[in-house]
Chains A and B, each alone.
Chain A
Amino acid sequence: MGAGRLLVVAGQWDAAARALVARWAAYSAALLTPRDLAQPGWRYEPGNAIASRAVVGGEALAAADIAGVLTRLPWITAPELPWIVPEDRAYVAAELNAFLLAWLSELPCPVLNRPTPLGLAGPAWSRGRWVQLAAACGLALAPHEDGGPRPPLPVRARVTVVAGRAIGAVAPDLAAGAVRLAGAAGAEVLTVHFGGPERGACFVTADPRADGARDEVADATLAALLGGRPRATRVAASPTATYLGLPPRSPVHGAGFGLAVRDRAARARRRRRDAGLTLVWGLPGDGPTAAVLAALRGRRAPVVFVDQRDVLATEVRLDIGAPGGGTIRTRAEEIVLGEVTAAYLRPHDARRLPVLAAAGPESDAWRRSARAEERLSTWADLTPAPVVNRPAAMASNGSKPYQAARIRAAGFATPATLITTDGAGAEAFWAEQGSAVYKSLSGVRSIVARLTPEHRPRLADLRWCPTQFQAYVTGTDYRVHVVGDALFACAIESVADDYRYAARQGADVAIRPAALPPDIAARCLMLARALDLPVAGIDLRRTPDGAWFCFEVNPSPGFTFYADATGQPIAAAVADLLIAGERG
């Protein structure tokens, strides 16, 4: 590994990253910034990262020549891409994040930190989530700390953990706590901030980046990069599995705590505890949310609906040291989260709600909304109650090539894929495959379309953003909804490249219930479990010669589109799953 180059992935103005590159000049260290991803020549075939080619500082670099990667970039954001036209920036940022998540995950060399769907540099959590984990790791917290709007303590001491070693002038108990915290977060590099260096000082926050200003940290990081054992692609079942060091939870049969509280009499609480209570979070006009609510109510299951439209009137507080505890105060009531026994989450992008769209970015309304939703997400990841689906588990869908590695691990074939910024490379792939489609890399939806000669002029635009091309697979589409242990499969017949938008191509769509071969059904169940998704919508295609390909696993499936066409009782099954979880 010593002959290869080191890469430091960072923002363009990251002075500490530049200092590290200079310090590691003997190892031909180079800085990789988002600008480098807007260069022709990138080439990555998911599943074969060792053969991929990067472009760094204008030079092509084979992945096999990369000895190690230090990532200091938690996410790429739209403002960091001023060379992209404004209307495309947010999309390109999402695509670059999706690309780097997959590529850095699969590189065989040491990568510090190995990315997760929650951050390119490892766990880029909110302070509130770090506070929860710090409490679980026995670190002292400031009085009344709840990770809330109260300003955090000023940082007066910090310690960086590198590969299990704490570096920093702090008391031994703080150093040991920082090592525990890094271990619990699954971060090989973590800088932990304290209110002071003395014994018992309070935790303030953590940062999955090395403190680049310290020589000792830089040297320890270098040693970890050069001495670290290369890894095969990490195919974790779920980021939540290691969270807090808790044993894996059954997504379906979680421990029920009892019931929610509406500031009513204890007698009412006891009655409801017996029945359990499901929390539903979303928009009333959303098909799947409305269908699940109706099914729960039809079963007379106690349910509390947190209407996303009221996000600005929703206050969420989380109990520290008691994962799953806290309260939600809405216009109508107060919900004790520790008494919620199951949850169904299907929020939309709150920033597109009229009230928030009108308020605009960086407004107080946006911040309040983000705070409430971030806490609800934190709660949903930590509660022992079953959740459909946990946000951390859903995050794998933010990068199709990243998720594809998990799909292949479950035994499904995926189409031949090339992600590239190179027009000539795309042309060659297209010629090799005979017919190819293009689609987004990220969770941003794009209409899947086949390449045609009319696309040639715009292949020049590939240089601005890595784009995903896949071999076109002929056959019949199948949509499989996994609901716990149940499967609802349907076949979709359409001549459109993307049946979801068949009308735009003037094509029809016919959806009918279908049966799956037992091995494919078993694989679907295994895949959903591996992704920690009790409810999932799996997109398959069966070729005329009987081969099955899997394209994607949707973690928040819009199942009503299929249920309306087939009559399959998917909402009822979801409701039964939630109720079973309540009583589990």
Chain B
Amino acid sequence: MAPSDTEKSAQEKDAKDAKDAKEKEKDQKDIKDKDIKETKEKESKEYKEKEEKEVKEKDDSEGLAGLSQGAAPPHDLARRGPPLAEPAATGRAFIRPEERPAVGERALRGADEDGDRGR
């Protein structure tokens, strides 16, 4: 049975609504994608700027970073007596932690990334 004009009109309206909904959904997705892309780009830019700023500092270690200074004491030398009772820890170094930057952070930070692993 052929649809009546009313039914036809309703079907056309439904189709139009569906199309509109799809377009709206697409627009929203586009906006969302754009937002994500922009956010990512912004974050990436900020990260890059931060990296560049850090690179201006001399991050390379220059001393004994990975080498013990005989720090593995032989057998009982490490045992000096009973565990220390914890008194109130109030002493601070004159040179504050923020004045003692860690070095080699970039190399260590990349430690979990794939990279040149040998020959």
| B66 x A308 contact (CB < 8 A) | yes
Q: Which of A121-129, A138-146, A168-176, A250-258 lines the interface with chain B? A: A121-129
Specify the chain A residue showing the minimal Cβ separation from B106.
A285
**Chain A 370-402, CB within 8 Å of chain B: the 1/0 string?**
100110010000000000000100110110000
- Chain A nearest CB, measured from B17 CB (Å): 53
Known: A85-B90, A353-B111, A397-B63. A206 touches B74 (CB 8 A): yes
Known: A84-B89, A285-B110, A285-B115. A370 touches B72 (CB 8 A): yes
For the complex, is A447 an interface residue (Cβ under 8 Å from B)? yes
Contacts of B59 in A (CB 8 A): 558
Q: Tell me the A197-245 residues at the B interface (CB within 8 Å).
A: 205-207, 209
| B61 x A556 contact (CB < 8 A) | yes
| A446 x B70 contact (CB < 8 A) | no
Query: How far is it, in angstroms, between the C-alpha of A124 and the C-alpha of B71 when the chains are bound?
Result: 8
For the complex, is A524 an interface residue (Cβ under 8 Å from B)? no
The one of A74, A88, A116 that contacts B92, using a Cβ cutoff of 8 Å: A88
| B57 x A284 contact (CB < 8 A) | no
Query: How far is it, in angstroms, between the C-alpha of A293 and the C-alpha of B117 when the chains are bound?
Result: 11
Contacts of B118 in A (CB 8 A): 304-305, 307, 330, 332
Query: Interface residues of A: mostly helix, strand, loop or mixed?
Result: mixed
The one of A82, A86, A125 that contacts B74, using a Cβ cutoff of 8 Å: A125
The one of B95, B102, B117 that contacts A440, using a Cβ cutoff of 8 Å: B95
- Chain B nearest CB, measured from A93 CB (Å): 10
Contacts of B104 in A (CB 8 A): 283, 286, 348-349, 352
Query: How far is it, in angstroms, between the C-alpha of A14 and the C-alpha of B70 when the chains are bound?
Result: 20
| B80 x A14 contact (CB < 8 A) | yes
| B100 x A286 contact (CB < 8 A) | no
Q: Tell me the B67-100 residues at the A interface (CB within 8 Å).
A: 67-78, 80-82, 84-97, 99-100
Known: A12-B81, A82-B84, A353-B108. A288 touches B60 (CB 8 A): yes
| A126 x B110 contact (CB < 8 A) | no
Contacts of A123 in B (CB 8 A): 70
Specify the chain A residue showing the minimal Cβ separation from B118.
A305
Query: How far is it, in angstroms, between the C-alpha of A370 and the C-alpha of B61 when the chains are bound?
Result: 19
- Chain B nearest CB, measured from A184 CB (Å): 16
| B62 x A503 contact (CB < 8 A) | no
Contacts of A443 in B (CB 8 A): 63-64
The one of B90, B108, B109 that contacts A83, using a Cβ cutoff of 8 Å: B90
Query: How far is it, in angstroms, between the C-alpha of A348 and the C-alpha of B108 when the chains are bound?
Result: 8
| A348 x B66 contact (CB < 8 A) | yes
Q: Tell me the A307-347 residues at the B interface (CB within 8 Å).
A: 307-310, 330, 332, 345-347
For the complex, is A38 an interface residue (Cβ under 8 Å from B)? yes
- Tally of contacts, chain A with chain B, CB under 8 A: 252
Specify the chain A residue showing the minimal Cβ separation from B88.
A83
Q: Tell me the A75-102 residues at the B interface (CB within 8 Å).
A: 75, 77, 79-88, 91-92, 95, 97
- Chain B nearest CB, measured from A581 CB (Å): 19
Q: Which of B78, B80, B96, B102 has the most CB of A within 10 A?
A: B80
| A284 x B67 contact (CB < 8 A) | no
| A287 x B66 contact (CB < 8 A) | no
Q: Which of A409-417, A459-467, A542-550 lines the interface with chain B? A: A459-467
For the complex, is B31 an interface residue (Cβ under 8 Å from A)? no
Contacts of A346 in B (CB 8 A): 65-66
Contacts of A97 in B (CB 8 A): 69
| A458 x B94 contact (CB < 8 A) | yes
- Chain A nearest CB, measured from B36 CB (Å): 28
| B62 x A555 contact (CB < 8 A) | yes
| A13 x B81 contact (CB < 8 A) | yes
Query: Interface residues of B: mostly helix, strand, loop or mixed?
Result: loop
| A284 x B115 contact (CB < 8 A) | yes
| B100 x A445 contact (CB < 8 A) | yes
**Chain A 429-473, CB within 8 Å of chain B: the 1/0 string?**
000000000111001111101000000001101111101000000
For the complex, is A518 an interface residue (Cβ under 8 Å from B)? no
Contacts of A394 in B (CB 8 A): 63-64, 67
For the complex, is A303 an interface residue (Cβ under 8 Å from B)? yes
Query: How far is it, in angstroms, between the C-alpha of A290 and the C-alpha of B75 when the chains are bound?
Result: 37
Query: How far is it, in angstroms, between the C-alpha of A205 and the C-alpha of B25 when the chains are bound?
Result: 76
The one of A83, A282, A537 that contacts B89, using a Cβ cutoff of 8 Å: A83
Query: How far is it, in angstroms, between the C-alpha of A461 and the C-alpha of B86 when the chains are bound?
Result: 20
| A373 x B66 contact (CB < 8 A) | yes
| B89 x A86 contact (CB < 8 A) | yes
Query: How far is it, in angstroms, between the C-alpha of A77 and the C-alpha of B110 when the chains are bound?
Result: 29
Known: A117-B69, A118-B70, A467-B95. A287 touches B60 (CB 8 A): yes
For the complex, is B116 an interface residue (Cβ under 8 Å from A)? yes
| B77 x A74 contact (CB < 8 A) | yes
| A348 x B65 contact (CB < 8 A) | yes
- Chain B nearest CB, measured from A527 CB (Å): 16
**Chain A 343-366, CB within 8 Å of chain B: the 1/0 string?**
001111110111100000000000
For the complex, is A119 an interface residue (Cβ under 8 Å from B)? yes
- Chain A nearest CB, measured from B51 CB (Å): 13
| B72 x A354 contact (CB < 8 A) | no
Known: A11-B80, A124-B73, A446-B99. A283 touches B58 (CB 8 A): no
- Chain A nearest CB, measured from B95 CB (Å): 5
The one of B63, B73, B91, B113 that contacts A285, using a Cβ cutoff of 8 Å: B113
Contacts of B97 in A (CB 8 A): 87-88, 91
Contacts of B64 in A (CB 8 A): 391, 394-395, 397-398, 443, 555-556
For the complex, is A554 an interface residue (Cβ under 8 Å from B)? yes
Specify the chain B residue showing the minimal Cβ separation from A34.
B80
For the complex, is B103 an interface residue (Cβ under 8 Å from A)? yes
The one of A13, A205, A370, A556 that contacts B62, using a Cβ cutoff of 8 Å: A556
Specify the chain A residue showing the minimal Cβ separation from B92.
A461
Specify the chain B residue showing the minimal Cβ separation from A556.
B62
- Chain B nearest CB, measured from A403 CB (Å): 10
Apart from A83-B88, A85-B92, A440-B100: 14 A-B pairs, beta carbons within 8 A: A13-B80, A84-B91, A117-B70, A124-B74, A285-B107, A304-B119, A330-B118, A373-B67, A443-B63, A443-B64, A445-B101, A458-B94, A464-B94, A503-B53
What 4 A-B pairs have minimum CB-CB distances, sorted nearest first? A13-B81, A558-B60, A347-B66, A464-B91
* 12 A-B contact pairs sorted by A residue (CB < 8 Å): A74-B73, A83-B87, A84-B92, A85-B91, A347-B67, A349-B104, A373-B68, A394-B67, A449-B99, A464-B94, A467-B94, A558-B60
